[in-house]
Structure 1
Amino acid sequence: MQRFEDLKVWQKSQDLAVSIYNHFSNSKDYGFRDQITRASVSISNNIAEGFERKTNLDFKRFLYFSLASNSEVRSMLYLSERLNYLNKQDSSRLINETNEVSKMLYAFIKSMK
């Protein structure tokens, strides 16, 4: 791969961020909205930044940052359902998306060892 844009995990994490933005764009809880959208964007941004570091050690470190941001988003999605910001169907779908991104990140990290 010569560009981070070619990485499937980067593409999937961008899709997740768009979904998060779409679901929370009208939220009046500005602190919650800001936190979940920033964390969702952080996933793909860390993949991109790590890719450009050009060393596997640095790249892996940034993939772990992406993984942590992804977990933060998933945790907030559980909370969003409990707070009635999302219905069960939407939260489940988004949680599944975060689980898919996690699997992809773990597989990518494992392949680099």
Structure 2
Amino acid sequence: MDFEKLEVWKRACRISVEIYQTLRELKDFGFKDQITRSSLSVASNISEGMVRPTANDKIRFLHIANGSCAELRTQAYIGITIGYIPEDVGRKWVRETKEISAMLMGLVKKLRD
């Protein structure tokens, strides 16, 4: 399965780019590093998993991507609360990470079947 054709991978890449662009000027480098790394991890683990030879390998990496997605969602909530992320933007990221997670779990189900 070609990961570049997966809508979930495309959406994970888009949110990562948006996070980088939105937080470009943020001076809290620890927070910025953590949230950008977790966003990169989602798309990266999808791509790494989908090139693995077995369904179990693919599923393992999709679960890792889902964990990174949950981490990203947590950081969005915190970023909103501490004023680093505008509330409307952060809420959009929260919704998007929930949808990406659901898509990841749908792909896991498909691979198991």
Calculate the TM-score normalised by the size of structure 2: 0.95
Aligned to 1:4: 3
Q: What RMSD in Å do the two structures reach over aligned CA positions?
A: 0.8
Task: Provide the C-alpha distance between the structure 1 equivalents of 2:25 and 2:94, rounded to a whole number of angstroms.
Answer: 20
Same amino acid, percent of matched pairs: 38
Partner of 2:52 in structure 1?
53
Deviation at 1:51, TM superposition (A): 1.0
| Structure 2 gaps, min length 5 | none
Question: Equivalents in 1 of 2:104, 2:65: separation in Å?
Answer: 8
Please name the residue that 2:103 is paired with. 104
The two structures have a TM-score, normalised by structure 1, of 0.95
- 3-state SS of paired residue (2:25): coil
Distance in 1 (alpha carbons) for counterparts of 2:97 and 2:18: 11
SS in 2 for 1:27: coil
Per the alignment, residue 31 of structure 2 pairs with 32
- Distance in 2 separating the partners of 1:87 and 1:47: 28
Moved more, 16-25 or 60-69: 16-25
User: Hey, what does 1:69 align to over in structure 2?
Assistant: 68
Q: Which consecutive aligned stretches of 4+ in structure 1 deviate over 3 angstroms post-superposition?
A: none
Ranges in structure 1 where 5+ consecutive residues have no aligned partner: none
Aligned residues: 112
